[in-house]
Amino acid sequence: MALKVVHVMEVPSLHQVPETPSAAALLPREAARGFVVLGHRGKGMNALESADLRMRAVKENSLLSFNRAALFPIDFVEFDVQVTKDDCPIIFHDDIILTEDSGKILEKHVTDLYLEEFLSYGPQREPGKVGKSLLRKTDDGRVLKWNVDDDDSLCTLQEAFEKIDSRLGFNIELKFIDHAVYLARDLTHALEAVLKVVYEHANGRPIIFSTFQPDAAQLLRKLQTAYPVFFLTTGGTETSDDVRRNSLDEAIKLCLASGLQGIVSDVKGVFRNPSAVSSIKASNLSLLTYGHLNNVPEAVYMQHLMGIDGVIVDLVEEITEAVSDFITPTSVAEEREGLSDAVVEARQVKVRARPNFSQRELSFLLKLIPELVQH
């Protein structure tokens, strides 16, 4: 089903505040460091079927995962917010939540749950209390027990504001069911529930909103101007009934028409169409990427050279270390004072190990990469 077009001009603003600052100011550390790293669902998503144990180290979208991510030099944590039936914004990625009872698999839409029932799944914070088993459906349709090394309870957006270091930015992805038809009033109701928590608890924390739902993105920009709104897109790697979701060019059009401040694209979509980066920059939009390739340091470095503003990553420890290496000044001579010879030598080794492409080589790579990521 196609998404229903809504008329955002008919929706009244909740707050009238000054216009959002320029794109460079939206990502606070970017100006100083040149590149932004965001932890995907905290310290990384859970891929229960993966042979990589790092993808099952800690429960995604949990307070534990967010605080683990905060131990590394990241700028933001990215997480998924939905709104329960009793209007409480909660943090959970999947549309469907699954449990097992008497050998039967039971599933419900997350947004059909009241808060109390949502929090009854998985580990419980109250000592001695046992929650419902929590299962997850994989992309190939299998249902697996949601087992991780370090588990944690489900949480609300308010708890995240209250229990995570306030210096860590939040990229709040607003989740809606794909291919569902939403009326403007229903989208607005959910967005207002989220904004209420943000206004009451943000306390100066850097925040970026993002969503794959184009109507929600437009509405959110109309409802508030205090925080930037980015449009999420697969960048053409998947096809939707809504043409606005099908390419980076359409994403640019939507942002410019709606006053959005940036795009978050599947990195494969950017690598398939690298010329879009210059179009996005010429439009004064910020560009972040997501996807499995962002767990490969060389792919992240390539994006840094292309002028992409930042990456959403699962392997927080590894990628923050790699980013710290390739943004180290090309000369450390000016930093020698007060450093031991061993430290200086270690930094010089990192600089020498960093890839160093000529403009000709970079041009060749940008022509080659789209061919390499077609499949």
CATH number of the structural domain spanning residue 132 = 3.20.20.190
Residue 20 inside a domain? The answer is no
Cα 21 from Cα 7, distance rounded (Å): 25
pLDDT at 340: 56
Q: What is the mean pLDDT of residues 219-247?
A: 96
Residue 371 inside a domain? The answer is no
- With bands split at pLDDT 50, 70 and 90, how would you rate the model's confidence at 237? very high
Q: Which residues neighbour 8 within 8 Å (Cβ) at sequence distance 6 or greater?
A: 184, 215, 218, 219, 221, 222, 258
pLDDT at 31: 39
Q: Is the pLDDT of residue 352 over 50?
A: no
Q: How far is CA 245 from the centre of its chain?
A: 17
- Domain, as residue range, for 73: 25-327
Residue 344 inside a domain? The answer is no
The total of structural domains in the chain comes to: 1
- With bands split at pLDDT 50, 70 and 90, how would you rate the model's confidence at 303? very high
The 10s digit of each residue's pLDDT in 267-285 is: 999 999 999 999 999 999 9
The 10s digit of each residue's pLDDT in 36-80 is: 999 999 999 999 999 999 999 999 999 999 999 999 999 999 999
Residue 347 inside a domain? The answer is no
pLDDT at 332: 43
Q: What is the mean pLDDT of residues 201-206?
A: 96
pLDDT at 271: 95
pLDDT at 21: 41
Q: Is the pLDDT of residue 375 over 90?
A: no
Identify residue 263 by its one-letter amino acid code: I
Residue 289 inside a domain? The answer is yes
Least confident window among 183-197, 250-264, 348-362: 348-362
Mean pLDDT for all residues in the chain: 86
CB 242 within 8 A of CB 214: yes
What is the CB-side half-sphere exposure of residue 185 using CA atoms within 13 A?
0
Residue 91 inside a domain? The answer is yes
Q: Which residues neighbour 133 within 8 Å (Cβ) at sequence distance 6 or greater?
A: 99, 100, 145
DSSP of 248-272, one letter per residue?
HHHHHHHHHHHT--EEEEEHHHHHH
Burial class (CB in 10 A: 0-12, 13-18, 19+), 192: middle
Least confident window among 217-226, 313-322, 343-352: 343-352
pLDDT at 10: 36
Q: Is the pLDDT of residue 12 over 60?
A: no
Residue 77 inside a domain? The answer is yes
Residue 11 inside a domain? The answer is no
**What's the pTM value of the predicted model, to 2 decimals?**
0.85
- With bands split at pLDDT 50, 70 and 90, how would you rate the model's confidence at 139? confident
